Amino acid sequence: MAKVLIVDDSRTSRKMLRSLLEEAGYEIAGEAVNGDEGYLKYKELSPDLVTMDITMPITDGIQALQLIRHFDKEAKVVMITAAGQKEKMMQALKEGASEFITKPFDREEVINTIGRVLA
Ligand SMILES: [Mg+2]
């Protein structure tokens, strides 16, 4: 079963993603609350996929994406975006993001996107 690392500063978002993904049969490797912690946990836990919130304190999702992809160029990172983040999305694409999921979460979108990236 694929292992997912959830990186998001919002406890509510982490909780929602966790329950959606567990319900779909994924294993949650761990959770991180900012980009720094996400990078460290990526190295520690070697997840199959990361869900990466873009807006976070300390180290944001774009910086964490850069760090993770520099460490592992095969890393699969799905960015979690809010409306009106087109510029950040373009930047994330350039840095090798696999896909995007938009908040608020839609169950189908989350499951389909993650399934596609892991296929
Ligand atoms: Mg956030």
| Tokens, residue 42 | 């990526």
Cα 11 to chain center, whole Å?
Answer: 14
Domain boundaries, the chain: 3-118
Instruction: Report how far ligand 1's centroid is from the alpha carbon of 115 (Å).
Output: 23
Task: Give the confidence band of 104 by pLDDT, cuts at 50, 70, 90.
Answer: very high
Instruction: Report how far ligand 1's centroid is from the alpha carbon of 90 (Å).
Output: 18
Instruction: Report how far ligand 1's centroid is from the alpha carbon of 18 (Å).
Output: 15
Instruction: Report how far ligand 1's centroid is from the alpha carbon of 7 (Å).
Output: 9
Nearest residue to 20 via CA among 76, 118, 104, 119:
104
| Span 3-118 CATH architecture | 3-Layer(aba) Sandwich (3.40)
Average pLDDT for 46-69: 96
Give the pTM.
Answer: 0.97
**Partners of 8 in the β-ladder:** none
Average pLDDT for 77-89: 92
Instruction: Report how far ligand 1's centroid is from the alpha carbon of 10 (Å).
Output: 6
Instruction: Report how far ligand 1's centroid is from the alpha carbon of 81 (Å).
Output: 9
Task: Give the confidence band of 83 by pLDDT, cuts at 50, 70, 90.
Answer: confident
Nearest residue to 36 via CA among 6, 60, 70:
60
